[in-house]
Amino acid sequence: MLATHRLRALGQSVWLDQITRALVRKGTLQRYIEEYGVSGLTSNPTIFDNAIKSSQDYDASIAEGLRRGWKGERLFLSLAIEDLRAAADLFRPTFEATNGRDGWVSLEISPEFAYDTEATIHAAEALWREAERANLFIKIPGTPPGLPAIEESIFRGVPVNVTLLFSREHYLAAADAYMRGIERRIAAGLDPRVGSVASLFVSRWDKAVLGRVPERLRNRLGYAVALQVYRAYNEILSSERWQGLAAKGAQPQKLLWASTGTKDPAASDVLYVETLAAPNTINTMPEETLLAFVDHGEVSAVLPADGKGAEELLAEFAAVGIDVAALAEQLQKEGAEAFQRSWRALLEHLNVREAELRAAV
């Protein structure tokens, strides 16, 4: 049995954190679905930037967009939606077979809205309606201004992938925003089944403290935080509040492990897959990590539902001067800024390609 199938057997979904037009159109994604059990897909501005600037696969669609008078952000979103619609259609059988619990793809709103609640709400609803796919998440950052936007989007029936979560406190705030949105839908007599996942970024923790902690703690901070969050996740699922919502038809906001590509060249290339095996969760991994895990990954341990060992490990980091709470806020801020830089670079590369295509006419 392939390692990815072992993850699925214990109840963890394997998603791909990658998209290119060739991946979707040339059968590679379909093969990953059939052979490796991949059951969902995530994207972000960096992924699309790399896809567009590294191939000519988008030229025909760019040219068509130019003929329609589109440019910049409007043109990019048309390209992204085209790809993600095609990917969503490949995952539709999974989505239907699991009654909406799996088989999703994700599209990010402009990172420029990370600290603008109203702009996020309007952009999320407009993008989701334009995409016209029931199994498409809109990614909204779990920043303080993003939280009310998550609640409102859920209330409006827009499925949300909450991104840029780094800590237990970030996760709990995102889960609360999701449940408030569901509670408002129930109070309004609306269907409580609105999909959502909460994406905890893992590897960036270890990159942030690389060289600042003793060797025994190297590449252990991301694991410790994930373990702490996994406990909080299970506590929410067993809470009276959530059980009441589930009894009325609501579906859990699954915990998703994001940023699972290894950053430390001295560490295992499947570190954040092997150590984060956990029932009722999702691991979205870069393509190279997926292929490495299929090739030589192992599933030998499962995260304890009670988060045993998390607090002791986090205390060790505190003892060597790592302020985990402060670092979580720093990582979220840096993550939002990094996505903004990627977004601007993407639009700049698109502008260059537009000019090249116009000059070739």
Task: Calculate helix-pair angle for 168-187, 240-247, nearest 10 degrees.
Answer: 40
Active site residues: 139
What is the rounded distance in angstroms from the CA atom of residue 166 to the CA atom of residue 164? 6
Q: Is 198 helix (H, G, I), strand (E, B) or coil?
A: strand
What pLDDT is attached to residue 354?
A: 85
Confidence (pLDDT) at 361: 65
| 3-360 is a CATH 3.20.20.70 domain | yes
**What pTM, to 2 d.p., does this model score?**
0.96
Both tokens of 349, joined, read: 């590369």
Structure tokens, 46:
């960096």
SS (H, E, C) 201-249: ECHHHHHHHCCCCCHHHCCCHHHHHHHHHHHHHHHHHCCHHHHHHHHCC
- Using one digit for the tens of pLDDT, what is the confidence trace for 215-248? 999 999 999 999 999 999 999 999 999 999 999 9
Note the pLDDT tens digit of each residue in 302-337: 999 999 999 999 999 999 999 999 999 999 999 999
Amino acid 22: pLDDT: 94
Share of the chain above pLDDT 90, in %: 90
163-208 pLDDT per residue, tens: 999 999 999 999 999 999 999 999 999 999 999 999 999 999 999 9
Residue in 96, 122, 119 with CA at minimum distance from that of residue 39 = 96
Residue 360 above 80 pLDDT? no
Whether the CA torsion 64, 69, 71, 75 is positive or negative: it is: negative
Domain parsing of the chain, residue ranges: 3-360
For residue 198, what pLDDT is reported? 98
68-104: buried (b, 16+ CB within 10 Å) or exposed (e) per residue?
eebeeeebbbbbbbbbbbbbbebbeebbeeeebbbbb
